């Protein structure tokens, strides 16, 4: 991350509230500054609005009250410099892996040769250059998610929004993809906001974890995770990693209350 | 979906067909009905052979009307659905009238169509178009409105224009629906053409098709030939459905789940 004279925040929430239509408050009193290079995980019970936070940043839903700046402009103004990764891979089934990966460039009107080259570069990055010509239905869940990541990175976004991207995968695949995501970040240098239900995933990936409460969604606590990047698989076996997982789990129990 | 084993897929229809023909002969001989009321399958085949020249020429003529009406319905159906898919106002303003058009029996409209379009090919094509248009519009419109919301969000995030969203997202994801509409239309188009020919058949313009043969054989009480005409119409319908199935395969087999194979 190049150092700038002024530390510009990537995302800035000021007293943001959100309700859908006439419904109850989904988010209340959201204040957050995302700094360049942050990897922030949002974790909390169902209904705490963590996905809504991402959708506000993406400009997919408007805020109800408060101020939200993304990359120095409005959420919609920042489109093209931020990318969204959904829980399911949302690949277009009629396009091949390469076709899906080059889609954002195609929508921008890039020349065919340019986008072919970029797509193959991105697929190589996620280790899928061999299946460039495969259609999504021929890929496993993990491979589809890799293509989805490759597609999101095609435009070299400064900010990557990930909404439980690995939630539907088995634990081994999830761990592998966590490691790969960090490896890719060493190269691509994006700032990330990541929604997850998995505490160990959040600890492994992030430098900051925000624990949220529900009805309405608020930030309950922030946990700093100081392990230096690059992080590797063996981090998960360390006692201080486990201690961090326990700390976040305790906070999560606090907000979830006694189990029904 | 579980597939029928290939051996059974071929043998079962043959077995049921043979049983049906046997039953037919049995009914004929037990009931003592005359050939001109219930001809045997043998007599029908005989009539078909005797009349094969007329039947084939008529089938060819019907094919022209059916195909023209079907292609017209396919193209206009696609365009109309695009219009309905783009704008809520068009949907609200046009769809009820399309329903009204669909619910008006074609038999009532046919004399009017003949009056307007003339008794020949134009009238037949119009009847065919009318009968096969609606399923295409209804299916394609449904398809355009069923686009995955996450896919739409993806396009919006990438700053895609409305035109790009329509052409690169909504239309391709509606293709399975459009083809389902075409498949229904393919079964209707030959019926529409034959019906059109039947209605205008006694005038000079409609004299070439299977619908005219129905009219003509019926007035001459050539009942085995009438059955042979039905058989020919079936074959025509089969060709239509087979052609659309082929189109369906060509468009969808690479990516659509309905062509999922077991090899991966």
Picking from A156, A181, A206, the residue at the C-terminal end of a domain is: A156
Average pLDDT over residues B225-253: 94
Q: Do residues A73 and A99 both lie within one domain? A: no
Q: Which of B148, B136, B153, B146 is nearest to B188 (CA)?
A: B136
Q: Within 13 Å and on the Cβ side, how many CA atoms surround A132? A: 14
- Distance from C-alpha of B132 to C-alpha of B106, rounded to nearest angstrom: 11
Split at pLDDT 50, 70, 90, the class of A256 is: confident
pLDDT tens digits, one per residue of B118-140: 778 888 899 999 999 999 999 99
Q: Do residues A10 and A55 both lie within one domain? A: yes
Split at pLDDT 50, 70, 90, the class of A258 is: low
Average pLDDT over residues A135-157: 94
Asked if residue A232 has pLDDT above 90, the reply is yes
B150: nearest CB among A80, A83, A86: A86
Two structure tokens written together for A13: 């929430």
A107: nearest CB among B153, B159, B260: B159
Which run of H or E residues covers position A43?
A: strand A39-43
CB of B262 less than 8 A from some CB of A: no
CB of A255 less than 8 A from some CB of B: no
Cβ count within 10 A of residue B149: 9
Asked if residue A4 has pLDDT above 70, the reply is no
Q: Which among A70, A85, A90, A99 is the top mutation candidate for probing chain B, defined by the most B β-carbons within 10 Å of its own β-carbon? A: A90
Rounded (5°) CA angle B12-B176-B6: 20
Q: Do residues A130 and A205 both lie within one domain? A: no
Cβ count within 10 A of residue B134: 21
- For residues A181-206, one letter each, b for 16 or more C-beta atoms within 10 angstroms of the residue's C-beta and e for the rest, the string is bbebbeeeebbbbbbbebbbbbbbbb
Asked if residue A71 has pLDDT above 90, the reply is yes
Residue B123 is predicted with a pLDDT of 87
- Domain coordinates in residue numbering, chain B: 47-253
CB of B156 less than 8 A from some CB of A: yes
Asked if residue B174 has pLDDT above 90, the reply is yes
User: Alpha carbon A103 to chain centroid distance?
Assistant: 20
User: Alpha carbon A81 to chain centroid distance?
Assistant: 14
Residue A259 is predicted with a pLDDT of 53
Q: Which of A62, A28, A11 is nearest to A218 (CA)?
A: A28
- Distance from C-alpha of B153 to C-alpha of B169, rounded to nearest angstrom: 11
Which residue in B has a C-alpha nearest to residue A133's C-alpha?
B254
B151: nearest CB among A83, A90, A138: A90
Instruction: Flag whether A187 is in a domain.
Output: no
Q: Do residues A234 and A113 both lie within one domain? A: no
Segment 135-174 of chain A within 8 Å of chain B by CB: 135-138, 155
CATH of the domain at A208: 3.40.50.300
Asked if residue B197 has pLDDT above 90, the reply is no
A104: nearest CB among B158, B255, B257: B158
B158: nearest CB among A80, A92, A135: A80
- Predicted ipTM? 0.88
Q: Do residues A90 and A123 both lie within one domain? A: yes
Quick check: B158 and A135 CB within 8 A? no
> Can you state the percent helix, strand and coil of chain B, rounding each to 5?
85, 0, 15
pLDDT tens digits, one per residue of B147-164: 999 999 999 988 999 999
Average pLDDT over residues A147-156: 93
pLDDT tens digits, one per residue of A83-111: 999 999 999 999 999 999 999 999 999 99
Question: How many interface pairs between A and B have CB atoms less than 8 angstroms apart?
Answer: 60
Q: Tell the residue number behind the tokens 């189990």, with chain if given.
A: A259
For residue B259, the distance in angstroms to the closest alpha carbon of chain A comes to 10
Cβ count within 10 A of residue B250: 10
Instruction: Flag whether A27 is in a domain.
Output: yes
* Average pLDDT over all residues of chain A: 92
Task: Give the total number of structural domains in chain A.
Answer: 2
- Distance from C-alpha of B190 to C-alpha of B61, rounded to nearest angstrom: 11
pLDDT tens digits, one per residue of B39-75: 999 999 999 999 999 999 999 999 999 999 999 999 9
Average pLDDT over residues A143-150: 95
Helical H segments across B146-222, by residue range: 149-157, 162-164, 171-200, 210-219
Residue A47 is predicted with a pLDDT of 83
CB of A109 less than 8 A from some CB of B: no
Listed in sequence order, the residues at least 6 apart from B264 whose beta carbon sits closer than 8 Å to its beta carbon are A138
Cβ neighbours of B260 in A, within 8 Å: 137
Two structure tokens written together for A223: 């946990």
CB of B158 less than 8 A from some CB of A: yes
A107: nearest CB among B150, B158, B175: B158
Euclidean distance between the first and final Cα of chain A, in Å?
Answer: 45
Which residue in A has a C-alpha nearest to residue B253's C-alpha?
A94
* Average pLDDT over all residues of chain B: 89
Split at pLDDT 50, 70, 90, the class of B1 is: low
CATH class label, B47-253: mainly alpha
Cβ neighbours of B157 in A, within 8 Å: 58-60, 79, 82-84
Question: Is residue A110 classed exposed, middle or buried when 0-12, 13-18 and 19+ CB atoms within 10 A define those classes?
Answer: middle
For residue B164, the distance in angstroms to the closest alpha carbon of chain A comes to 7
Picking from A156, A179, A201, the residue at the C-terminal end of a domain is: A156
Residue A260 is predicted with a pLDDT of 47
Which residue in B has a C-alpha nearest to residue A77's C-alpha?
B159
Split at pLDDT 50, 70, 90, the class of B113 is: confident
Structural contact between residues A194 and A205, judged by C-beta atoms closer than 8 angstroms: yes
Which residue in B has a C-alpha nearest to residue A82's C-alpha?
B157
Split at pLDDT 50, 70, 90, the class of A5 is: very low
Q: Which of B133, B116, B119 is nearest to B198 (CA)?
A: B119
Determine the 3-state secondary structure of A212 from DSSP. Answer: strand
CB of A84 less than 8 A from some CB of B: yes
CA torsion A119→A122→A123→A124, rounded to 10°?
120
Residue B2 is predicted with a pLDDT of 62
Average pLDDT over residues B137-147: 95
Asked if residue B110 has pLDDT above 90, the reply is no
Domain of A108?
A: 85-156
- Distance from C-alpha of A138 to C-alpha of B263, rounded to nearest angstrom: 9
Split at pLDDT 50, 70, 90, the class of B207 is: low
Tell me if the bond preceding A216 is cis, omega within 30° of 0: yes
In chain B, % of residues over pLDDT 90: 67
User: Alpha carbon A44 to chain centroid distance?
Assistant: 15
A79: nearest CB among B157, B169, B260: B157
Cβ count within 10 A of residue B34: 10
Which residue in B has a C-alpha nearest to residue A55's C-alpha?
B153
Tell me if the bond preceding B69 is cis, omega within 30° of 0: no
Residue A191 is predicted with a pLDDT of 97
Asked if residue A65 has pLDDT above 90, the reply is yes
Q: Do residues A77 and A89 both lie within one domain? A: no
Which residue in B has a C-alpha nearest to residue A58's C-alpha?
B157
CB of B164 less than 8 A from some CB of A: yes
CA torsion A104→A107→A111→A115, rounded to 10°?
20
Which residue in A has a C-alpha nearest to residue B260's C-alpha?
A137
Listed in sequence order, the residues at least 6 apart from B33 whose beta carbon sits closer than 8 Å to its beta carbon are B27
Two structure tokens written together for A26: 């989904």
- Distance from C-alpha of A100 to C-alpha of A135, rounded to nearest angstrom: 9
- Distance from C-alpha of B51 to C-alpha of B38, rounded to nearest angstrom: 18
A107: nearest CB among B148, B164, B255: B164
Residue A257 is predicted with a pLDDT of 72
Average pLDDT over residues A152-168: 93
Split at pLDDT 50, 70, 90, the class of B201 is: low
Asked if residue B10 has pLDDT above 90, the reply is no
Q: Do residues A207 and A226 both lie within one domain? A: yes
Average pLDDT over residues A185-193: 93
Largest CA distance in chain B: 76
Residue B8 is predicted with a pLDDT of 84
């Amino acid at each position: 991350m190049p150092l700038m004279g002024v530390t510009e925040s990537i995302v800035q929430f000021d007293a943001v509230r959100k309700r859908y239509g006439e419904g109850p408050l989904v988010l209340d009193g959201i204040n957050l500054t995302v700094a360049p290079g942050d990897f922030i995980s949002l974790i909390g019970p169902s209904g705490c609005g963590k996905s809504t936070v991402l959708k506000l940043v993406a400009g997919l839903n408007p805020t109800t009250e408060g101020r939200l700046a993304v990359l120095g402009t409005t959420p919609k103004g920042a489109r093209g410099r931020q990318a969204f990764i959904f829980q399911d891979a949302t690949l277009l089934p009629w396009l091949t892996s390469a076709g899906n990966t080059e889609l954002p460039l195609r929508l921008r009107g890039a020349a065919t040769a340019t986008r072919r080259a970029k797509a193959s570069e991105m697929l190589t990055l996620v280790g899928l250059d061999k299946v460039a010509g495969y259609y999504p239905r021929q890929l496993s869940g993990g491979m589809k998610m890799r293509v989805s990541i490759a597609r999101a990175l095609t435009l070299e976004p400064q900010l990557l929004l990930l909404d439980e991207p690995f939630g539907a995968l088995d634990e081994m695949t999830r761990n592998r993809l966590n490691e790969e995501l960090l490896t890719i970040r060493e190269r691509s240098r994006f700032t990330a906001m990541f929604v997850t239900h998995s505490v160990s995933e959040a600890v492994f990936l992030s430098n900051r974890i925000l624990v949220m409460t529900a009805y309405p969604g608020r930030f309950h606590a922030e946990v700093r995770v100081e392990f230096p990047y690059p992080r590797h698989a063996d981090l998960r076996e360390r006692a201080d990693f486990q201690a961090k997982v326990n700390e976040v789990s305790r906070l999560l129990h606090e907000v979830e209350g006694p189990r029904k | 979906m579980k597939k029928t084993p290939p051996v059974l897929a071929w043998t079962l229809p043959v077995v049921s067909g043979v049983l049906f023909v046997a039953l037919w002969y049995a009914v004929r001989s037990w009931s003592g009905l005359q050939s001109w009321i219930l001809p045997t399958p043998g007599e029908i085949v005989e009539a078909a052979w005797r009349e094969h020249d007329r039947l084939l020429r008529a089938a060819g003529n019907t094919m022209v009307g059916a195909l023209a009406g079907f292609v017209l319905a396919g193209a206009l159906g696609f365009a109309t659905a695009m219009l309905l898919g783009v704008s809520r106002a068009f949907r609200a303003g046009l769809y009820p009238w399309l329903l009204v058009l669909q619910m008006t029996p074609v038999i009532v409209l046919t004399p009017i169509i003949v009056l307007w379009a003339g008794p020949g090919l134009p009238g037949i094509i119009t009847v065919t178009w009318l009968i096969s248009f609606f399923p295409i519009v209804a299916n394609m419109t449904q398809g355009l409105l069923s686009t995955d919301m996450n896919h739409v969000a993806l396009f919006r995030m990438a700053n895609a224009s409305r035109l790009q969203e329509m052409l690169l997202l909504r239309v391709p994801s509606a293709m399975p629906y459009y083809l389902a509409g075409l498949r229904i239309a393919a079964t209707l188009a030959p019926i529409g053409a034959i019906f059109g020919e039947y209605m205008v058949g006694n005038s000079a313009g409609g004299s070439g098709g299977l619908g005219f043969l129905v009219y003509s054989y019926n007035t001459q009480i050539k009942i085995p030939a009438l059955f042979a005409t039905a058989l020919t119409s079936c074959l025509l319908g089969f060709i239509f459905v087979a052609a659309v199935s082929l189109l369906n395969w060509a468009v969808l087999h690479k990516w659509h789940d309905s062509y999922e194979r077991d090899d991966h």
